[in-house]
Amino acid sequence: MSSWIYIDGTFYDKENAKISVFDHGFLYGDGVFEGVRAYHGRVFKLDEHVDRLFDSAKVIALDPGVSKEEMKQIILNTCAKNKIHDGYIRPVVSRGVGDLGLNPYLCKKATIVCIAGTIQLYPERYYQEGLKIVTVATHRNFNESLNPRIKSLNYLNNIMAKIEGMQAGAPEALMLNPAGMVAECTGDNVFAIRKNVLYTPDVHSGSLDGITRRCVMDLAKARGLQVVEGPMSRFDFWVADEFFLTGTAAEIVPVVELDKRPIGDGLPGVITKQLIADFKAFVKEEGTPIPTLV
């Protein structure tokens, strides 16, 4: 089946979907994006994802050139064009075409791209057996340099950490902030459970304000768990009863080992499994329906 890519108002097949080599998204990673999921013919948390996309754009002084409602329609139409029932959507807003200099104000118009397809971040066995991960030396960006709350096209910070983790034989890697406190993994938020309290680093520690993260926190509260956001060290994860990651692509995946130290009894935790089940049930009910294109 052909994939149809939205670029600035037109759909192109995969082979012909192209942008200019002078686009500053390509030249400098100057732009923002979102990762969005569709479940059961509905786009999950569409409003929240578009709000975060526009927040990221505002912080880097990037005008998308469309309204939030227009962006939502672009996402929905891209899903409809590709007949997405369950899938993954990647809306991208780049600075647009400019010259070889850094000056973003010479880019007259943003480029908008939207891709809809499928994604599988981790093999199924990791959801059953749990991940074994390591801490890497690459720190998360300083908030004052490139704030991690911006979902930027420049993902080199995360990629360098991912390389370190994979070279150590781990499928995912834990990143610390410059103060040595836990920020997040290379592509996922992190949670620890101890004595029926759910802990997660706050966004000021260098974590993305994840949409799945927020959803899981709500589900945990509905189960009666206390949820605490704040600074966390590796100590807090090493001594945790349970440990899991969350992300749009990953959903919820257990972690059973950090830096060769088993988490709890070394198996996916009971509460983690309950939250996975709660999340699967929740996504069946929530979302913006994908239209049928005539």
Confidence of residue 203 (pLDDT cuts 50, 70, 90): very high
pLDDT above 70 (res 270): yes
Confidence of residue 121 (pLDDT cuts 50, 70, 90): confident
Residues of the chain with CATH 3.30.470.10: 4-117
pLDDT above 90 (res 130): yes
CATH number for the segment(s) 4-117: 3.30.470.10
pLDDT above 60 (res 1): no
Confidence of residue 119 (pLDDT cuts 50, 70, 90): confident
More confident residue, 104 or 120: 104
The phi, psi pair for 92, rounded to 5°, reads -130, 135
Residues of the chain with CATH 3.20.10.10: 124-282
Statement: the pTM of the whole predicted model exceeds 0.75:
yes
Report the SS3 class of residue 135.
strand
Tens of pLDDT, residue by residue over 59-88, are 999 999 999 999 999 999 999 999 999 999
Tens of pLDDT, residue by residue over 136-164, are 999 999 988 999 999 999 999 999 999 99
* Residue 228 and residue 196 in contact, taking contact as beta carbons nearer than 8 Å: no
pLDDT above 80 (res 2): no
The pLDDT value given to residue 292: 87
Tens of pLDDT, residue by residue over 222-241, are 999 999 999 999 999 999 99
The pLDDT value given to residue 120: 83
Confidence of residue 103 (pLDDT cuts 50, 70, 90): very high
The closest alpha carbon to 253, from 283, 281, 280, belongs to 280
- CA dist 243 and 253 (Å) reads 9
DSSP 3-58: -EEEETTEEEEGGG----TTBHHHHH--EEE--EEEETTEETTHHHHHHHHHHHHH
Handedness of CA 279, 285, 287, 293 (dihedral sign): positive
CATH topology of domain 124-282: D-amino Acid Aminotransferase; Chain A, domain 2 (3.20.10)
pLDDT above 90 (res 184): yes
The pLDDT value given to residue 283: 96
**151 counts as catalytic:** yes
* Percent of the chain clearing pLDDT 90 (strictly above): 96
pLDDT above 60 (res 89): yes
Find the helix or strand (DSSP H, E) in which 199 lies.
strand 197-200
Tens of pLDDT, residue by residue over 232-267, are 999 999 999 999 999 999 999 999 999 999 999 999
Given the residues 45, 132, 151, 162, select the one marked as catalytic.
151
pLDDT above 80 (res 11): yes
Across the chain, mean pLDDT equals: 96
